[in-house]
């Protein structure tokens, strides 16, 4: 939010736990807005689009045929035991004020939860379902009993292209290869932390178990040079 406010276009796409984390950590104090979802561990469904979904930032450029297929075919892959219910969404004014729901689904007990949303102000997008899973279905538990429509692959490619185009709106570059290495994902030991947290989260979702790198102090050392869009160290100016 801070980077976008300072003119640095910074898109975020949160998938599955990512959308839950986004909704829980966007406010002070942080909250846990999730509820248990029944029967959504391995399920493909259509999306129930909201009335204004077609005009949203996320779906306005999607081809009409693909948009209709998402609304009618079992394309959205759900692999989760928790979700943010519409009841919670409507009861937390901070959430509904900052995020617009563009699609929902119902679990096996009829609870309506958020499937797709986006920030009203920032380039932040959240999906409870997995568009990327279409190309990795064979590696998923019980995947053999799921039928993957052909349009699911087109959907996966479209979302990849959408995120790529969003990221290309950011014109920042690194000053050197050494500076770039500081921001490499490999610098953050997430595998062990995530696996331990995921084991706990299966029993009870806990945002406190997931550790993410804090970039606040790093980002404060940089500004955008408006003349060329490069990310410059304050000490260099």
Helix axes of 64-72 and 150-167: crossing angle, nearest 10 degrees: 120
Q: Which of 78, 80, 98, 130 is catalytic?
A: 130
Catalytically annotated residue among 16, 78, 80, 98: 16
Task: Please say if 141 is a catalytic residue.
Answer: no
Where residue 164 sits, what CATH number does that domain have?
A: 3.40.50.880
208 and 144 fall within a common domain: no
In tens, the pLDDT along 139-172 reads 554 455 566 788 998 999 999 999 999 999 998 8
User: Which pLDDT belongs to residue 28?
Assistant: 66
Domain that holds residue 104: 2-170
What pLDDT score does 210 carry?
46
- How many domains in the chain? 2
Locus of tokens 């999306």:
47
The confidence score (pLDDT) of residue 137 equals 65
Domain final residue pick, 155, 170, 185: 170
Encode pLDDT of 214-233 as tens digits.
444 444 444 444 444 444 44
Is 16 marked active-site?
yes
Q: What is the pTM of this model?
A: 0.76
Say if residue 180 is exposed, middle or buried (CB neighbours under 10 Å; 0-12, 13-18, 19+): exposed
Same domain, 47 and 126: yes
pLDDT by residue (tens digit) across 73-128? 999 999 999 999 999 888 888 788 899 999 999 999 999 999 999 999 999 999 99
Strand order in the sheet with 12-15: 12-15, 124-127, 112-119, 99-106, 48-49
Q: Report the C-alpha gap between 137 and 146 in whole angstroms.
A: 9
Element housing 201 (H / E): helix 191-203
CA 152 remoteness from chain centre = 18
Average pLDDT for 62-71: 96
Two tokens, residue 171: 């014109």
pLDDT band at 134 (very low <50, low <70, confident <90, very high): confident
The torsion of the CA quartet 50, 56, 60, 64, rounded to 10 degrees, works out to -10
């Amino acid at each position: 939010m801070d980077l976008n406010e300072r003119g640095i276009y910074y898109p975020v796409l949160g998938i599955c736990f990512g959308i839950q984390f986004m909704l829980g950590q966007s406010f002070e104090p942080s909250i846990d807005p999730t509820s248990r979802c029944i029967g959504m561990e391995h399920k493909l469904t259509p999306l129930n689009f909201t009335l204004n979904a077609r005009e949203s930032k996320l779906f306005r450029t999607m081809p009409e045929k693909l948009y209709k297929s998402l609304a009618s075919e079992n394309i959205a892959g759900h692999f989760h035991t928790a979700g943010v219910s519409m009841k919670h969404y409507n009861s937390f004014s901070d959430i509904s004020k900052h995020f617009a729901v563009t699609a929902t689904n119902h679990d096996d007990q009829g609870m309506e939860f958020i499937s797709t949303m986006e920030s009203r102000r920032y380039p932040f997008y959240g999906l409870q379902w997995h568009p990327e899973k279409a190309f990795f279905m064979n590696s998923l538990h019980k995947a053999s009993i799921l039928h993957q429509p052909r349009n699911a692959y087109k959907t996966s490619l479209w979302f990849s292209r959408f995120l790529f185009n969003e990221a290309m709106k950011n014109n920042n570059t690194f000053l050197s290869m050494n500076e770039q290495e500081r921001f490499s994902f490999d610098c953050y030991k997430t595998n062990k932390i995530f696996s331990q947290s995921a084991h706990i989260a299966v029993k009870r979702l806990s945002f406190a178990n997931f550790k993410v790198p804090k970039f606040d102090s790093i980002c404060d050392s940089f500004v955008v040079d408006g003349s060329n869009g490069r990310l410059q160290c304050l000490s260099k100016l």
